Amino acid sequence: MNLLAYDIRNLTDARYFAARGARFITFNALGENGELSVHAMTAMAEWIEGPGLLLVAPNAEKATELLGQVPFTGLILPSVNLSLVNPFLHMECFAEIICKDESHLERLLEEANEIDSFELDGILLNLQQIETITDNIAMMINGLAAKVPVYADLPGDFLQIGTVLHKCPQLGLVLHGAEEEKVGLKSFDEMDDFLENWMEEMG
């Protein structure tokens, strides 16, 4: 499944997304909820079979520090600047683009196209600050996705996300982990329904 599970912080989410066939599972070295410890990352990694395991790192220094301690297969860095990415091109390497609005997205995509960003294994396109994915935005995303794999972190509920995926059939999807209701206990019913429908549409 063309799915990237982002900022996974508990074993329940890690095992769920692995069982769901996610292509990548990511641990965030500097997430909104604080840094995930090396011990926690290693403990979850031992239970993950199948998906690639990506580190989300704020900079090259942090990436270098953690790559030797946890069995990551690749990483996500906050730039499409190849001078930053070059030391890591021996592994799966993604760049994250955070978009503020439609015009900002257009500028960022122009910059991505101007450099040889397509040595990257993919781009994580964070669109959470964009209220509506217009047809123009969808067209820009499709243009980029035709050149390099793109995983989008989309705004809205599952119905709105499904509409965007229908407009952008090459697009991969970013889904986030969340807090458990209790340790080891969490309901995935709504996400299950959405993913089942998505898989049917993708054939």
What pLDDT, on a 0 to 100 scale, did the predictor assign at position 182?
Answer: 46
What pLDDT, on a 0 to 100 scale, did the predictor assign at position 67?
Answer: 87
Query: What is the CATH classification number for the domain harbouring 45?
Result: 3.20.20.70
- The CA-atom distances, in angstroms, between 135 and each of 42, 46, 150 are 42, 42, 17
The tally of domains found in the chain comes to 1
What pLDDT, on a 0 to 100 scale, did the predictor assign at position 82?
Answer: 59
What pLDDT, on a 0 to 100 scale, did the predictor assign at position 38?
Answer: 87
Domain ranges, residue 98: 3-202
What pLDDT, on a 0 to 100 scale, did the predictor assign at position 153?
Answer: 93
Per-residue pLDDT of the chain (203 residues; tens, 9 = 90+): 799 999 898 888 999 999 999 999 999 876 555 668 888 899 999 888 889 999 988 888 888 888 888 899 998 887 656 566 667 778 888 888 888 888 888 877 776 666 555 577 888 999 988 888 889 888 888 888 888 899 999 988 888 888 999 899 999 999 987 665 544 546 678 888 888 888 777 65
